[in-house]
Structure 1
Amino acid sequence: MFKRIASNTARTALTPVLAFTIFGLAACSSTPPTKDDTQARVDAAQATLANFRRDPDMTWFRDHVGSAKALLISPQIVQAGFIVGGSGGSAVVIARNRSGTGWNGPAFYRLAQGSIGLQAGAQASEMVALVMTDKALNSLLATTFKLGGDVSVAAGPVGAGTGAPVTADMIVYTRSKGLYGGVNVDGTVIDVDEGRNRAYYGQPATPVDILVTRSVSNPAGARLAQAASGAVASGR
């Protein structure tokens, strides 16, 4: 179970404000995304997926990735601050195609979370979330939603003795410096990154365009889809 840093009431009140701040600062301080920048993020997501796939403790992950309707992959979530802090990062999503034999995407998203607690220093984690239900997938196709609020989350089982059923809209694995559960994702706001989607596909593109109808495409995204197919094959 994810560690709760603040009460549900406090988190509910603060998360939208801090999430808006993180997104706003990122928009003001960064240069417009380029195709090379977005491809670098896709390549980093592919490396993260490979890390989880090869991990000997990720038996449950490998056994169930084939049942996922989509994968949300964040190569780096940065948690920083003191007394009042937050976490944020970027993520890409690939979703099962209609035939169920391959993957569409990637679509780009931003992650942000506000929290109260002593969080001296900074911590970076990587995350892979298995999107297990239509509810969670439909939330990704919308504009903004919150993990643990709009969509239920559970920590992915790690190591031996992981045969017990796990039921949630998303099964989330995080890791920091080789340790599991590196960041608390409960309360994380997930928001579509329209700028990076536009940069990667050369035109405005919604998650539905990318993940469902596939009315836009980028051949370079095929490598991540192939890595996901390899992860599924390794679990069979």
Structure 2
Amino acid sequence: MKKLLSLSLLAACCALPFTASAAPRTEYIERVETCEAILQEFMANPETAIPAEILKIARGIVIVNQVRAGLVIGVKDGWGVIMVRRPDNTWSLPALLAAGEGSIGLQIGATTIESVYIFTNDETPRMLFNQRFHVGVDAKAVAGPKAASNEHTNEEILKTPVLIYQKNRGLYAGASLKAGYLARNDEANRSLYLTNYTLPEILYSNWVQPIPEVVPLMDYVHSLTN
């Protein structure tokens, strides 16, 4: 069930104990656990399961949980995690992200939106170093093929930087113009890992050690992609 909710000097400085105030750390742990549950649910349902051939080429995975609500002008707010495949074929620690979207158009009701983004190259995840990454704008994004279709995935789809898998829950009605984004959340990651390192180091270095609570998600992603 989901549980909602340069270099040597830099290394020396960032290894200092983290003391800045942040949101409750337990909340960030729950976000990681929720993202693991979301991915498990996607893979358990043939209608949303990501094909093995897509997972094997994945260079990054983002799992997002968002809530959209509003009347006339809707706002979608949420959070997620990103993991990247490193050059040695291991997966990084999960790093926390913020996620959002502004919509213009008729918005009635509210819905929870669960999404999985598959990055098919090594360049796209690094766009998050620039604070915000606009999905479908900064890199082309298309709906990913489903395992249930049993169709061979064409080369054009495999070369698309972002493949999107999405599942909606709740009630929502409206036609809207959307521009969704992902954003690094350095404060949350400092709190989660008790470190002063930020997104680049968490994803691409071994300077931050995994905490026990993130290991199940790491193991699950490894099992899916290898």
TM-score by length of 1: 0.76
Q: Which residue of 2 aligns with 1:39?
A: 29
Counterparts of 1:80 and 1:93 in 2: how far apart (Å)? 24
Moved over 6 A (4+): none
Identity rate, percent:
23
Q: Which has the larger radius of gyration?
A: 2
Q: Which residue of 2 aligns with 1:24?
A: none
Q: 1:83 to 1:72 in 2, by over 3 A?
A: same
How many Å apart are 1:213 and its aligned residue?
1.0
Name which of 49, 52, 62 aligns with 1:62.
Answer: 52
Counterparts of 1:80 and 1:107 in 2: how far apart (Å)? 26
1:17-66 residue CA offsets vs partner (Å, 9 max, x unmatched): xxxxxxxxxxxxxx932221111111111111111122223455333112
Q: Which residue of 2 aligns with 1:130?
A: 118
Counterparts of 2:74 and 2:178 in 1: how far apart (Å)? 15
For structure 1, the residue ranges without an aligned partner over 5 or more in a row are 1-30, 179-183
Counterparts of 1:50 and 1:157 in 2: how far apart (Å)? 17
Point out the more displaced range, 152-161 or 200-209.
152-161
Q: 1:174 to 1:58 in 2, by over 3 A?
A: closer
Q: Which residue of 1 aligns with 2:167?
A: 175
Q: Which residue of 2 aligns with 1:49?
A: 39
What SS class does the counterpart of residue 108 from structure 2 fall into? coil
Is 1:227 aligned with 2:216? Answer: no
Q: Which residue of 2 aligns with 1:150?
A: 138
Counterparts of 2:40 and 2:52 in 1: how far apart (Å)? 11
Question: In the alignment, residue 22 of structure 2 is paired with which amino acid?
Answer: P
What SS class does the counterpart of residue 103 from structure 1 fall into? coil
What SS class does the counterpart of residue 80 from structure 2 fall into? strand
Q: 1:104 to 1:35 in 2, by over 3 A?
A: same
Q: Which residue of 2 aligns with 1:115?
A: 103
Is 1:86 aligned with 2:75? Answer: yes
Counterparts of 1:121 and 1:69 in 2: how far apart (Å)? 36
Counterparts of 1:59 and 1:45 in 2: how far apart (Å)? 15
8 Å Cα contact 1:77-1:89 kept in structure 2: yes
Q: 1:60 to 1:38 in 2, by over 3 A?
A: closer
Q: Which residue of 2 aligns with 1:7?
A: none
What SS class does the counterpart of residue 94 from structure 2 fall into? strand
Counterparts of 2:163 and 2:53 in 1: how far apart (Å)? 13
Counterparts of 1:118 and 1:162 in 2: how far apart (Å)? 36
Is 1:105 aligned with 2:98? Answer: no
For structure 2, the residue ranges without an aligned partner over 5 or more in a row are 1-20, 171-175
TM-score by length of 2: 0.79
Number of equivalenced pairs: 198
Q: 1:61 to 1:134 in 2, by over 3 A?
A: same
What SS class does the counterpart of residue 227 from structure 1 fall into? helix
Q: Please report the RMSD computed on the Cα atoms of aligned residues, expressed in angstroms.
A: 2.4
Name which of 205, 208, 232 aligns with 2:197.
Answer: 205
